[in-house]
């Protein structure tokens, strides 16, 4: 049994304006569903910087002062990988 695990850090950002929430409709066949903007945290990048960058890349919006509201851990069964998503 391997004691090594791969950890991937990701982010998701819920953008709310009055009574509307922005979601993305993914057309990727691997993950075809609605989701919040977000993505991977790059090496040497802070969580705040990563969510600001991902929101800009995926929506064209400039956000400031994102707030951490939760952390979700996803584990894969086959390859000893753990994903942490900061929301």
Superfamily of 6-86 according to CATH = Nucleoside Triphosphate Pyrophosphohydrolase (3.90.79.10)
Question: pLDDT, tens digit, for every residue of 3-52?
Answer: 777 778 888 899 999 999 999 998 877 777 898 999 999 999 998 999 99
Say what the pTM is.
0.78
Backbone angles phi, psi at 47, to 5 degrees: -65, -40
Q: Are 52 and 22 in contact (CB under 8 A)?
A: no
Question: pLDDT, tens digit, for every residue of 43-63?
Answer: 999 989 999 999 999 999 999
Annotate the chain with three-state secondary structure: CCCCCEEEEEEECCEEECCEEECEECCCCCCCCEECCEEECCCCCCHHHHHHHHHHHHHCCCCCCCCCCCEEEEECCCCCEEEEEEC
């Amino acid at each position: 049994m391997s004691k090594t695990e791969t950890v991937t850090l990701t982010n998701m950002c819920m953008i709310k304006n009055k009574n509307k929430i922005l979601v993305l409709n993914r057309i990727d066949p691997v993950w075809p569903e609605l989701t919040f903007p977000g993505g991977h945290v790059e090496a040497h990048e802070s969580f705040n910087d990563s969510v600001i960058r991902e929101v800009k890349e995926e929506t064209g919006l400039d956000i400031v002062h994102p707030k951490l509201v939760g952390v979700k851990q996803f584990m894969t069964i086959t390859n000893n990988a753990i994903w942490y998503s900061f929301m």
